[in-house]
């Protein structure tokens, strides 16, 4: 299945270790904090072994033979070798009849990646079958495993049985954790393993017992318990979650996650996933009967299904619903939408052909922010039908497009205007593109028709609008070797965009899904300054812009991109997206993108109004990416309107190592205007050879069911990872991935 492979408590590492794969290798990065290699590589043979791999070479100080077929007694520095297997002891007995080797004065088996030291052994080199008793030390490079066993029975190259076994990925003599099992079996053919009466100890303290455990060999998924999670929060108290994974079939699985909240009760979360050739998806449902704090049943549904048939048909169903508006605050770990005001559910089906496409979709909303009026909820689409025709070959030098859309809008507040909207937009252009320049004149005819219901005092129930949009887009591309940097060329890309549309009275038209687009450098070159179809900007305007880039001549990496532009209006507008139809020019828009070697990058977007002192908008983000998990992010957002600051927020997040085994991470989102903290967290991680622990304290701005003001809720998370075995808690890594841009411990 995609995304992740659930790992039961013993996990892949035990399976790999007990299997004793001779050609597996441990990851250097995962065990980089270990003081030395668990097992040194085998030295090469001084001379090649002749034959087909079945020949056995034995050397010793003394040897004698008896019987027929002869049985050889070797004493004094005995060395037996067959291919890449080596047995050594002070005394060995070799039966040439059946190929059995026996030793009772200390026997050592050495293969690439495997070492076994035992008191006694009876072993056949050719089938790799035999018994080792009193195993004082075994080491397996795959998984960085080592331990002891009362008996190791190898029944062939793929099946091994262990009795009275201990297991750890720590260095010998420095075991932070140890797993003891009464017996265990590994079958590499079926890729399954079983452990009986297993006890996990931290140091000398036993902390977990299970009478039976089935686990995968390698990356196979098997039914079993997953690692538990422990947490603490102000509202929910102590939380304990013990997930159970169900491997239903190769393409189907489920995870049942009962979570006990000490102040609320038991929440059952179920996730079902499936993957077929033409459809895949997942279904999540959470239920908490009779919440002790809320006083009622709580539930949430989150599902996503995607359909793909060939290259032409696509479909999707996505739903997010909760029992009440405060669910996302109380159980944000199950449904992380704390910053959302509405939950979206949608369904879509689309067909794409060579020159055209057709789609139908529906969309609904659920309000979860009670501070917002119900009338502010977005309109639902039920449904929307879209058609586009864009032939690969036009009419001679002309390119043609045709877009059409029909949508029915509904709203839960009956007095809101509702109804149907039909929009068609044919477009004809004459592109002329050359290596150093381009010019593209175009004309679009947009016709929009409505059929409205609801509260319409004195308004037309069937308004319409028809208007042409004329545009000319032109630009030049110049480049030269940079005078400042060797191996870099600089571009200069001036661009002009002329656009004209006649004035049409749009005051009687409803506003179903239209809003003013955020003014950015790219949006200045669009035909309509509005997002949506209910409003079309009128008037005549000219956009001027220029971009320069610094690009590596060999790799093509873009080190710097800087752009600046402005819109000039030639006449007053009746319908304006920027709020003032009388303005004769827009704000000056600039953007900077920086991507330098050694991990430093920066984004900056800045707008300012030359006609109004103290009106500007700034967004900047500085980033640094080091090796492994090193990351620093610093951002600032500021908006001023005629000298009055309406937004002033700063954010900082970082993850940095203090020593090779200790890292710290923190984050802060601060409202500088109100001096309020919206979110902050701080944590520390300590990693050793075979373990790591992480501690995070987070405070997040929450919506309070009883008050309109906001408050910070504290959550403390503790996670203990036992490398090669599993972990107690699995939330902190995903939390840091989401909160610290660029933090990725798996890269």
Backbone angles phi, psi at 12, to 5 degrees: -65, -35
Three-class SS state of 738: helix
Evaluate if residue 215 carries a pLDDT over 90: no
For residue 232, pLDDT over 70 is answered with yes
What is residue 707's predicted lDDT score, i.e. its pLDDT? 46
Judge whether residue 376 has pLDDT over 70: yes
In this predicted structure, the answer to whether residue 291 has a pLDDT above a threshold of 60 is yes
Q: What is the pLDDT of residue 297?
A: 95
With 50 as the cut, is the pLDDT of residue 49 above it?
A: no
Nearest to 229 by CA among 366, 303, 333: 333
DSSP code of residue 408: E
Q: How far apart are CA 112 and CA 154, in angstroms?
A: 16
Token pair of 89 as six digits: 């002891």
For the chain, which residues make up each domain, given as ranges?
11-220
Residue 21 pLDDT greater than 50, yes or no: no
- Phi, psi values for residue 729, rounded to 5°: 100, 135
Q: Mark residue 295 as left, alpha or beta (left: phi above 0; alpha: psi -120 to 50; beta: remaining).
A: left
Rounded to an integer, what distance in angstroms lies between the CA atom of residue 9 and that of residue 55? 42
pLDDT in the model for residue 747: 46
* CA separation for the pair 613, 642 (Å, rounded): 6
DSSP code of 398? B
Whether residue 22 has pLDDT greater than 90: no
Q: What is the mean pLDDT of residues 351-356?
A: 94
Listed ranges 128-132, 146-150, 331-335, 497-501; the one with the highest mean pLDDT:
497-501
Lowest mean pLDDT among 92-96, 221-225, 347-351, 612-616: 221-225
Give the pLDDT confidence score for residue 113 in this predicted structure: 78
Cα–Cα distance, 745 to 125 (Å, whole number): 42
Q: For the chain, give the percent of residues with pLDDT over 90.
A: 51
Question: Do the beta carbons of residue 444 and residue 468 sit within 8 Å?
Answer: yes
The whole-number pLDDT of residue 26 equals 39
- What is the dihedral sign for C-alpha 172, 13, 30, 732? negative
| Listed range (67-76, 342-351, 595-604, 703-712) with the worst mean pLDDT | 703-712
Task: Tell me the backbone φ, ψ of residue 527, rounded to 5 degrees.
Answer: -75, -25
- Of the pLDDT bands very low, low, confident and very high (cuts 50, 70, 90), residue 708 is very low
Return the pLDDT at 5: 32
Token pair for 402: 């045709």
Cα separation, 456 vs 448, in Å, equals: 19
- pTM, entire model: 0.76
The two three-digit tokens of residue 328, written as one number: 């996302």
The predicted structure's pLDDT at residue 14: 29
CA distance 110 to 118: 12
Q: What is the DSSP letter of 112?
A: T
- Selection from 145, 150, 198 nearest residue 172 by Cα: 145
pLDDT for the residue 231: 81
659 vs 24: which has the higher pLDDT: 659
State how far the Cα of 296 lies from the Cα of 384, in Å rounded to an integer.
37
Q: Which CATH class is domain 11-220?
A: mainly beta
Q: Tens of pLDDT along 238-270?
A: 888 888 888 888 899 998 989 999 999 999 999
Which of 106-120, 482-496, 704-718 is the least confident region? Answer: 704-718
> What is the token pair recorded at 340?
């959302």
Burial annotation 227-245 (CB, 10 A radius, 16+ → b, else e): bbbbbebebbeebebebeb
Whole-angstrom Cα distance, residue 398 to residue 14?
A: 67
- Kindly tell me the burial class for residue 280, based on how many C-beta atoms sit within 10 Å of its own C-beta (0-12, 13-18, 19 or more): middle
Q: Residue 709: pLDDT above 80?
A: no
**Residue 541 Cα to chain centre, angstroms:** 43
Contact 110, 88 (CB under 8 A): yes
For range 542-551, the mean pLDDT? 97
131-180 confidence digits (pLDDT tens) = 999 999 988 777 687 889 999 998 877 788 889 999 888 999 999 998 89
What is the biggest distance separating any 2 CA atoms in the chain, rounded to whole angstroms?
118
Beta bridge pairs of residue 96: none
- 264 contacts: CB under 8 Å, gap ≥ 6: 236, 237, 288, 291, 292, 293, 294, 330
Output the pLDDT for position 339: 56
Peptide bond into 69 cis (omega under 30): yes
């Amino acid at each position: 299945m995609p995304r992740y492979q659930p790992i039961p408590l013993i996990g892949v590492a035990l399976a790999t270790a007990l299997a004793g794969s001779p050609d597996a290798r441990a990851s250097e990065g995962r065990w980089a904090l270990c003081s030395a290699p668990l097992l040194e590589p085998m030295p090469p043979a001084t001379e090649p072994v002749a034959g087909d791999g079945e020949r056995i070479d034995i050397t010793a100080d003394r040897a004698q033979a008896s019987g027929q077929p002869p049985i050889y007694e070797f004493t004094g520095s005995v060395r037996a070798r067959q291919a890449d297997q080596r047995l050594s002891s002070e005394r060995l007995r070799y039966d040439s009849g059946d190929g059995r080797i026996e030793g009772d004065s200390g026997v050592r088996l050495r293969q690439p990646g495997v070492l076994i030291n035992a008191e006694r052994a009876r072993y056949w080199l050719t089938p790799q079958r035999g018994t080792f008793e009193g195993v004082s030390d075994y080491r397996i490079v795959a998984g960085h495993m080592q331990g002891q066993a009362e008996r190791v029975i190898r029944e062939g190259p793929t099946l091994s049985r262990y009795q009275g076994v201990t297991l750890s990925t720590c260095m010998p003599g420095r075991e932070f954790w140890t797993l003891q099992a009464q017996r265990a079996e590994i079958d590499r053919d079926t890729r399954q393993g079983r452990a009986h009466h297993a006890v996990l100890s931290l140091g000398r303290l036993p902390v977990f017992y299970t009478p039976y455990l089935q686990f995968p060999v390698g990356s196979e998924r098997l039914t079993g318990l997953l690692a538990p999670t422990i947490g603490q929060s102000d509202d929910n108290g102590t939380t304990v979650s013990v997930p159970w994974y169900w491997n239903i079939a190769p393409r189907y699985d489920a995870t049942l996650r009962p979570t006990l909240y000490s102040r609320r009760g038991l929440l059952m979360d179920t996730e079902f996933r499936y993957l077929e050739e033409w459809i895949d998806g997942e279904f999540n449902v959470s239920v908490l009967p009779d919440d002790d704090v809320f006083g009622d049943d709580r539930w949430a549904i989150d599902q996503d299904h995607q359909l793909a048939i060939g290259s032409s048909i696509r479909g999707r169903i996505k739903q997010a619903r909760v029992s009440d508006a405060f669910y996302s605050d109380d159980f944000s770990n199950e449904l992380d939408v704390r910053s959302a005001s509405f939950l979206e559910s949608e369904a879509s089906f689309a067909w794409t052909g060579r020159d055209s496409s057709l789609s139908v979709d529906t969309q609904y909303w659920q309000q979860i922010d009670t501070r917002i009026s119900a009338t502010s909820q977005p309109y639902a689409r039920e449904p929307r039908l879209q058609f586009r025709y864009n032939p690969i070959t036009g009419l001679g030098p002309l390119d043609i497009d045709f877009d059409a859309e029909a949508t029915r809008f509904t709203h839960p507040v009956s007095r809101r205007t509702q109804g149907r909207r039909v929009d068609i937009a044919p477009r004809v252009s004459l592109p002329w593109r050359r290596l150093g320049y381009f010019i593209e004149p175009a004309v679009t005819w947009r016709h929009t028709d409505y059929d409205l219901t609801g509260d319409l005092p004195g308004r037309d129930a069937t308004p319409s609008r028809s208007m042409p949009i004329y545009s000319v887009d032109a630009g030049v591309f110049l480049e030269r070797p940079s005078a400042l940097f060797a191996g870099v060329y600089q571009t200069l890309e001036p661009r002009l965009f002329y656009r004209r549309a006649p004035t049409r009275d749009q005051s009687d038209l409803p506003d179903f899904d239209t809003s003013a687009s955020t003014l950015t450098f790219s949006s200045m070159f669009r035909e309509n300054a509005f997002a949506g179809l209910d409003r079309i900007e009128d008037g005549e305007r000219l956009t001027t812009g220029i971009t320069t880039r610094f690009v590596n001549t060999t790799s093509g990496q873009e080190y710097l991109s800087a752009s600046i532009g402005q819109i000039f209006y030639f006449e007053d507008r009746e319908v304006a997206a920027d709020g003032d139809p009388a303005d004769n020019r827009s704000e000056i828009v600039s953007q900077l993108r920086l991507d330098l070697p050694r991990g430093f990058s920066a984004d900056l977007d800045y707008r300012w109004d030359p006609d109004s002192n103290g009106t500007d908008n700034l967004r900047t983000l500085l980033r640094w990416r080091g090796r492994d998990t090193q990351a620093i992010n610093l951002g600032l957002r500021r908006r001023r309107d005629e000298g009055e600051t309406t937004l002033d927020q700063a954010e900082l997040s970082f993850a940095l190592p203090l020593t090779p085994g200790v890292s710290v991470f923190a984050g802060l989102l601060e409202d500088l205007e109100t001096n309020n903290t919206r979110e902050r967290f701080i944590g520390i991680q300590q990693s050793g050879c075979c373990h790591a622990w992480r501690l995070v304290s987070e405070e997040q701005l929450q919506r309070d069911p009883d008050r309109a003001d906001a408050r910070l809720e504290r959550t403390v998370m503790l996670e203990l990872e036992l490398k090669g075995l599993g972990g107690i808690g699995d939330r902190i890594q995903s939390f840091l991935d989401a909160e610290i841009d660029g933090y990725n411990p798996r890269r």
